[in-house]
């Protein structure tokens, strides 16, 4: 009687585990990514506004500074770079790999069972 190879020998297991770990990491970081991404985008937007010359800083007679031509800056939850495409991609890869793993395990089990029954008959 032949036994099935260990599940760790299947590449589909590893194709499922790695994106699943990525999804867990994204979920574990929670809103921290949005805060950091918003800060990075604000810095870039400010640099772009200064480089283009669209940002003017004016000083009044009391020494108080005010700015005009300020762009709309990114806020947490309103960033230009979104996380959902990465989450969707990792989810699809994980689910497809799990499906292939189940398919591989079920069909190889039935093939082994057929082979065993043929050996017993023959």
Q: What is the pLDDT along the chain (122 residues), one digit of tens a residue?
A: 567 788 888 999 999 999 999 999 998 987 788 888 889 988 988 888 878 877 777 788 888 877 777 777 888 888 888 888 999 999 999 999 999 999 998 887 666 666 667 677 76
Domain that holds residue 37: 13-121
In a domain, 116, yes or no: yes
Q: What is the pLDDT of residue 112?
A: 64
Q: What is the pLDDT of residue 102?
A: 93
Q: What is the pLDDT of residue 11?
A: 93
In a domain, 76, yes or no: yes
Q: What is the pLDDT of residue 109?
A: 67
Number of structural domains (the chain) is 1
Q: What is the pLDDT of residue 111?
A: 63
In a domain, 110, yes or no: yes
Write the DSSP assignment of 87-118 as a string of letters.
HHHHHHHHHHHHHHHHHHHHHHHHHHHHHHHH
Q: What is the dihedral of CA 59, 65, 71, 75, to 10 degrees?
A: 180
Q: What is the pLDDT of residue 58?
A: 78
In a domain, 80, yes or no: yes
In a domain, 42, yes or no: yes
In a domain, 28, yes or no: yes
In a domain, 105, yes or no: yes
In a domain, 74, yes or no: yes
């Amino acid at each position: 009687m032949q036994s099935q190879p260990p599940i760790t020998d299947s590449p589909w297991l590893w194709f499922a585990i790695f994106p699943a770990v990525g999804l867990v990491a994204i979920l574990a970081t929670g809103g921290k990514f949005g805060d950091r991404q918003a800060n990075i985008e604000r810095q870039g937007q400010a640099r772009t506004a200064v480089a283009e010359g669209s940002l003017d800083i004016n000083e009044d007679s009391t020494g108080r500074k005010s700015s005009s031509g300020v762009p709309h800056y990114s806020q947490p939850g309103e960033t230009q770079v979104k996380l959902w495409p990465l989450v969707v991609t990792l989810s699809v890869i994980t689910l497809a790999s799990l499906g292939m793993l189940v398919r591989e395990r079920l069909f190889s089990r039935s093939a082994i069972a057929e082979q065993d029954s043929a050996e017993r008959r023959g």
